[in-house]
Structure 1
Amino acid sequence: MPHTTTDLTLPDLTGRRAVLTGGSDGIGLRIAARLAAAGAELVLPVRSPKKGEAALAIIREQAPDATVSLRTLDLSSLASVAALGRVLLDEGAPIHLLVNNAGVMTPPSLQRTADGFESQFGTNHLGHVALVAHLLPLLKAGKARVTSQISIAANSYGINWDDLAWERSYHGGRAYSQSKIAFGLFGLELERRSSELGWGISSNLSHPGVAPTSLLAARPELGRSVDTRSVRVIRWLSARGILLGTPESAALPALYAAASPDAVGGRLYGPKGPGHLGGAPAEQPLYSRLTGLDQARRVWEVSEELTGVGFPTS
C-alpha cells in the first residue's frame, strides 16, 4: 500500500534500511516520520540522545508500527563519523537509502569543528563525505540511493579556494554557501564515479526551499542566543502561505529524491513554486555553481585529503 504525504506518494519501503542524518528535529524529523511510515527500517544517527528519544516518540506516535532506532553521531567530529561507520559495518545490514540532511547555518562568529575546520564546511560537507566513504561497502551492497540536502544558498557566492578555513576573514553566509556548493559538487561526483566504477549507487541532490526551521533560530551552541530576524520573517510568511514553504512541504524534495521511483541520480530536486521557495517537489535545473566537472573533481580530491578518508579508484 503506498503511503501518501502532501503532494507526494511514497512507495512501500518495507525491507529497506534507511539512514538519515539530522533527523531529530525540523525538516529532518518530518523526513524521518515519512520514511518510517512508508515501512523503512530507519536508523537515526544523532548527536543528542535526549533529542533522539524525543524524536523516536514523535515518529512512533505518527507511525506505531515503525521500525526506528538511534545511533550516535557528531558530524563535526571525524572520529565520531568513523565510529558510526564501524558500528554500522559491524551490523552488516545493507543500506538502501542514505539521506545526508544534517547541517548548521551561519554561526555569528567563526567556529571550528573538533578537527579544526570551519564549522559549516566541516559539518555540512566534510562530515558527510567521510560518512559516505565509511559506509560505502554497505551502500554498494544495498545498491543505495544517496540523497544530499543542499540549499538555495548553493546558488550564491562560491568556494573560497584560497582560504577554505576562513582564517583571514569570516563571512557566515558565504561560508554556508561554500559548504553547500562543495557538498552538491560531491554528490554529483559520487553519481559519476559510481557509474564509471560500477558501484551500483545512485546519488542525487535536494533542497528544501525556504521554510521556518531551527537552522536560523536561537542556537546557543552556535553562539546565537536569540532568533534571527530572518527566521522571524520566514515564520510570518510561512504561516500566511506567502511564497514560502512549511516544515512539512520543505521535507518533500528530499523524500522525493530519496524514495520516488521517478527520481534519478545526478539531478537536483526542490520545490516548484515561485523562486523554488515552496510548493510541491520537482526536478529543477542544476545551479550554475554545480555544473563544473573540474570543480567537482577538485572538491572530491580535497575532501579526501582533508578528511583522511579515501574512496576506491577501481
Structure 2
Amino acid sequence: MNRKAETAVPDLSGRRAVITGGSDGMGLQIAARIAAAGAEVVLPVRNRKKGEAAVSAIRRESPRSRVELADLDLSSLGSIAAFGQKVRDAGAPIHMLINNAGVMTPPARTTTAEGLELQFGTNHLGHFALTAQLFPMLSAGRARVSTQLSVAARSGEINWSDLNWERSYSGMKAYQQSKIALGLFALELDRRSRAEGWGLSSNITHPGIAPTSLLAARPELGRAQPTHGRRLIRALSRMGVTGTAESAGMPAVVAATAEDAQGGQFWSPDGFQRLAGAPALQKLYAPLTDRHAAARIWTVSEELAGVSFPAA
C-alpha cells in the first residue's frame, strides 16, 4: 500500500523541521518525505548508530537533502534540556515539529531516568518537555506542531490517582494513558496559542496500524523477541488490511505540511476502521474532547517536567 505517488508534499525549501523517532520505521519514512521536499531536517535520536544509518538512507534517496543528526533521549529530562539548549543556541527558527517517537507496552513496568513510568514519561512528558524547550524557536518560526497518537487513544483514561502506575501496572492501560495525555496536550497547545498569540499551531495524527518497530524486539525494554501482535500486523500488512511504514507515516506528513491542514485537526488513514489508507480528517476520540482534563494534564506536566510555557 504505497501512498507515495498519491499524496503530494509541497515544496518545503527554506523550512526547518525537527522530527522525533526518525531513525527507523514510520519515523524514517516521515523524515525522508519531508527532506525530499526540500526542508532542512533535524533528527534527534537516542541511538547514534541507527541515526547515522537513517541519515545515509535519506541521502541515498535524496542526495541533495539536508539532514542533521542530534542526540536526544526522550526518557531523560536532562537530555531533553540539553538538546533544547543546543537548538536555542543555534538560533534558527523551527517551522515544523513532529512529535512521533514512542515506546509501547514493555513486558514489565519500567521507568525513565527521573523514575516516571516509561510510557507516560517518554510518549507524553518527553514530548511535552521537548515542545517547551523548543518553544522560542517554534514561536519564531510560526511553527506547526504535529503530534502522533495511536488508535489506542480512542478508549482508556488518565489514571489521575496513580499517573505513575505504581500500585497496579497494566502496560496497555499505561500506553493508552500516555497517548491520551499527549493528545490532550497537543490540542490544549493549539487553544493556548490562539488565545495568547504564540503564533504556532498544533494538530494531532494517528498512523492506523502498521508493522513498525513499536512491538519489535526491544532489549532495552526487556523484550527479547517481537510480540505476537507484530507478527500478525506484518501478515495483515502483506494482505493490504493494515498499512505499511510508509503509508502509516503520511497522515503526519500531511498534518505537518499541507497548506489546508490547521491547528486542532485530527488526521488519520481513511480506510476501514481507520487502520490504513490515505490521509484524511477524522473526529476526535472521546477521551480527547475533555478540555478540563487537557488543562489539568498541562499543569501537572509542567510540574513533573520542570518546564513552563509563557504565562497566560
Write the distance in 2 (CA, Å) between the matches of 1:210 and 1:118: 24
Equivalences for residues 82-121 of structure 1 within 5 A: 82-121=81-120
Residue deviations 1:153-190, cap 9 Å, x none?
10121111111000001100000000000000000000
1:249-292 CA deviation, whole Å, 9 max, x = no partner? 00100001000111110011000000000000000000000001
Letter in 2 for 1:158: E
**Residues in 2 aligned to 1:7 and 1:161: alpha-carbon distance in whole angstroms:** 42
Pair 1:57-2:56 in alignment: yes
How far is 1:6 from its partner? Answer: 3.6
Q: What amino acid maps onto 1:216 in structure 2? A: L
Partner of 1:173: 172
The answer to whether residue 137 in structure 2 is matched with residue 133 in structure 1 is no
Residue in structure 1 matching 2:307, options 306, 309, 312: 309
- 1:250 touches 1:271 (CA, 8 Å); kept in 2? yes
Q: Which residue of 2 aligns with 1:152?
A: 151
2:292 maps to what in 1? 294
Measure, in 2, the Cα distance between the counterparts of 1:143 and 1:7: 28
1:23 paired residue number? 22
- Cα distance in 2 for partners of 1:109, 1:230 equals 17
Task: State the Cα distance separating 1:38 from its structure 2 match.
Answer: 0.2
Residues 6, 249 of structure 1: 8 Å contact kept: no
Q: Which residue of 1 aligns with 2:247?
A: 249
Deviation per CA, 1:198-254: give whole Å up to 9, x if none: 001010001000000110111111101111110000000101112x11111001000
CA RMSD in angstroms, aligned pairs only: 0.8
- CA deviations on 1:17-68 (whole Å, 9 max, x unpaired) are 0000000001000000000000000000011110010001000001110000
Three-state SS of the structure 2 residue aligned to 1:71 is strand
* Pairing of 1:170-209 with structure 2 (within 5 A): 170-209=169-208
**What corresponds to 1:40 in structure 2?**
39
Q: Report whether the alignment pairs 1:269 with 2:270.
A: no
Residue in 1 that maps onto 2:235: 236
Distance 1:18 1:6 in 2: 22
Q: Give unmatched runs, 5+ long, in structure 2.
A: none
In the alignment, is the contact (CA less than 8 A) between 1:253 and 1:270 conserved in 2? yes
Q: How many residues end up aligned between the 2 structures?
A: 310
With structure 1 as the length reference, what TM-score do the two structures score?
Answer: 0.98
Structure 1 residues 111-160: Cα deviation after superposition (integer angstroms, max 9, x where no partner):
00001100000000001101111111100000000000000110121111
Task: Give structure 1 regions of 4+ aligned residues with deviation exceeding 4 angstroms.
Answer: none
Matched, 1:221 2:220: yes
CA distance in 2 between partners of 1:220 and 1:46 (Å): 17
Q: CA deviation at 1:313?
A: 1.4
Deviation at 1:5, TM superposition (A): 2.4
The 3-state SS of whatever aligns with 1:270 is: strand
Q: Percent identity?
A: 62
Do 2:42 and 2:68's aligned partners in 1 also have CA atoms closer than 8 Å? yes
What TM-score do the two structures reach when normalised by structure 2? 0.98
Partners in 2 of 1:132 and 1:68 — Cα distance?
20
Preserved CA contact (<8 Å) 1:73 1:81: yes
SS at match of 2:8: strand
| Structure 1: distance between partners of 2:151 and 2:119 | 15
Contact 2:97 2:146 in 1 (8 A): yes
Check conservation: 1:110, 1:172, Cα contact below 8 A: yes
